[in-house]
Structure 1
Amino acid sequence: MNDFPTTDTLYHHISELVQQARQQIQRSVNTAMVHTYWHIGRLIIEHEQQGDSRAAYGRQQLEQLSIRLTGEFGKGFDARNLRNMRAFYQCFPIWNAVRPELSWTHYRVLLRVENSDARAWYMDEAAGQHWSSRALERQIGTLYYERLLSSREKDPVAAEAQEKTPPSA
């Protein structure tokens, strides 16, 4: 009897390992990017604005910074994204409160939620339920948090959200 796996079995084992490694790398890259963008937001707020919510020279300063960063590091550092990084730090000033399993796209969606309690709830749900950024955007768009708060019967609202939220890819 041959104890060695068939070529198909071997292929599937190797394929699974490669897929797991790629997912792990993607999670590591996302975590590093979110961490970096949070720190960039912190630097913009603390060093260039001395803690004010907006620098007196804000827009022009961010434009100049954007040009220099884009020249050195490529896309991803346009003025709008720098403003998003600044807003990210303002919304989540404590790094330990940031959920590393969420991507920068998740956080850009969360920045649009003005209510800080709702934002924190959506962040925790997105992480806990493994929502894709599209699923998160959909839940925010349908006011899932607000409907749960106002509903006397929570189960039907939660069931509807689960039914219409595909698992993340």
Structure 2
Amino acid sequence: MKFTKLVNSIRNTHSELYLAAAKAVNQSLTVRNWLIGLYIVEFEQQGEDKAKYGEKLLSHLALSIKIKGLSETNLKLCRQFYIAYPNILAAIKTMFENKGYLISQTVSDQLQNTNFENDTYQKSLHHQFNSDHIKPEELLTKLSYSHFLELISISDLSKREFFEIETIKNTWSVRELRRQINTLYFERSGISKKPDQLSKIINEKAERINPEDIIKSPFTFEFLDISPKDVVYENDLEKALLDHLETFLLKMGHGFCFESKQKRILIGGEYFFIDLVFYHRILKCHVLVELKVDEAKHEHIGQLKTYVNYYKKEIMQKDDNPHVGILLVTNQNKALVEYAIADSDQQLFVSKYLLELPSEKELIAEIQRENNVLREQEEIYKKVAKDNYKR
């Protein structure tokens, strides 16, 4: 066997089985969430003690099951997923029967005895099964759960099916699907004199689905009970700087209380991660820190302001003061600090908040100091490696 053939054999085997593993994990995640949605709807419609929980059902459920990734918000998404795609039932049954999935008799009986009477199910079932273009089996095997979360926001069944077909046919990534929904591709295609040409232009630049996108999805990490930090920390320099900043701010002695690292928040159906979150006990507000090992860009400031406004709307308590955002941008040439506040009165911010927060000069100096230390360590490692190689 030639060496080149050996290399290709190993690469091809890895790629095929990696893809198979990604698909298997995704299908299991999708089926689990669909079944959870089914159980919730069945309880809401037929549960003997449903009145006991009422509108607080999902919050009570999240606290009771204590399963990572199944928060009240995610349980709500499971329910929406089932309501939007009840026709997947046939595909799930087939998958269990043909592929030998090991499920308990309770789950099997639940699937066999489920009675669908709601209008949403009947309309969706009629629409999907009368389509010549797509079947439930294709939906389940070719779309990730993250794809489904984008699609369930579309109430128009014809429009949703259009994006299902386009996503499957062109293997769109989740980001590409979201982009095409937001740029009104469906509407533009409807009024275009040459829809095929429009489709060709769009798909020449479309972002394709990548197995790593599935594996590194926050949903997958939670489903497998794996820490999601590897999804975010892809840059060793960034991780080292964040670890140092956390320690530095806590040692400032001005009331910083550490709350979270890589804090995940949900905005408009999309997950975002805030690098560091503190609560300042003197200022009585959250302090959100974003670090970018990159040049300063307008979208960085916009992103930070979005996080601050999210905290103002969703997290802020009555006795809290407006939350603060600190953007740290660093590269080899310069460091930059920008502040954002959930209040339009910047003068108040300058006069009051900076008395307790580290100054721009202090933050820049600390970033540069740590940057220099890390680069010196990097040079030492390189020299040691070079010396070992010579030996």
Q: TM-score range by the shorter chain?
A: 0.7 to 0.9
Contact 2:171 2:209 survives alignment (8 Å): yes
Q: What does 1:43-122 align with in structure 2 at a 5 Å threshold? A: 43-46=39-42, 48-50=43-45, 57-69=53-65, 71=66, 73-74=67-68, 76-95=69-88, 96=91, 97=136, 99-100=139-140, 101-122=142-163
**2:196 corresponding residue in structure 1:** 155
**1:134 corresponding residue in structure 2:** 175
Per-residue deviation, 1:109: 0.7
For 1:153, give the aligned amino acid: K
| SS of residue matched to 2:153 | coil
Deviations 1:78-104 (A, max 9, x none): 111111110111111111436021111
| SS of residue matched to 1:165 | coil
Equivalent-residue separation in structure 1 for 2:87 and 2:60 (angstroms): 28
Equivalent-residue separation in structure 2 for 1:144 and 1:41 (angstroms): 30
Deviations 1:6-36 (A, max 9, x none): 2x53233113212211110110110111111
Equivalent-residue separation in structure 2 for 1:12 and 1:153 (angstroms): 42
Of 6, 30, 49, the residue aligned with 1:10 is: 6
Per-residue deviation, 1:126: 0.8
> Which stretches of structure 1, 4 residues or more, deviate above 6 A after TM superposition?
none
- 5+ residue gaps in structure 2? 92-135, 211-391
| SS of residue matched to 1:49 | helix
**2:38 corresponding residue in structure 1:** 42
Equivalent-residue separation in structure 2 for 1:113 and 1:122 (angstroms): 10
Q: In the comparison of the two structures, how many residue pairs are matched?
A: 159
Equivalent-residue separation in structure 1 for 2:187 and 2:41 (angstroms): 31
For 1:131, give the aligned amino acid: W
Equivalent-residue separation in structure 2 for 1:135 and 1:23 (angstroms): 20
Contact 2:175 2:207 survives alignment (8 Å): no
Contact 2:81 2:148 survives alignment (8 Å): yes
Q: Which moved more, 1:150-159 or 1:24-33?
A: 150-159
For 1:82, give the aligned amino acid: L
Per-residue deviation, 1:120: 1.6
For 1:50, give the aligned amino acid: Q
Equivalent-residue separation in structure 1 for 2:30 and 2:152 (angstroms): 13
| SS of residue matched to 2:179 | helix
Deviations 1:105-156 (A, max 9, x none): 0011111212121112211221121111111111111111111112232133
**2:16 corresponding residue in structure 1:** 20
| Rg (Cα) greater in structure | 2
Equivalent-residue separation in structure 2 for 1:93 and 1:148 (angstroms): 28
Equivalent-residue separation in structure 1 for 2:158 and 2:202 (angstroms): 19
* TM-score for both structures, normalised by structure 1: 0.84
Deviations 1:17-67 (A, max 9, x none): 122111101101101111111111111111x1117xxx7645411012112
* TM-score for both structures, normalised by structure 2: 0.38
Query: How has the CA–CA distance of structure 1 residues 58 and 113 changed in structure 2, closer, same or farther, with 3 Å as cutoff?
Result: farther
Equivalent-residue separation in structure 1 for 2:26 and 2:180 (angstroms): 22
- 5+ residue gaps in structure 1? none
| SS of residue matched to 2:204 | helix
Percent of counterpart pairs with the same letter? 28
| SS of residue matched to 1:93 | coil
For 2:152, give the aligned amino acid: L
Equivalent-residue separation in structure 2 for 1:5 and 1:59 (angstroms): 66
| SS of residue matched to 1:167 | coil
Equivalent-residue separation in structure 2 for 1:36 and 1:124 (angstroms): 23
| SS of residue matched to 1:20 | helix
Equivalent-residue separation in structure 1 for 2:76 and 2:146 (angstroms): 14
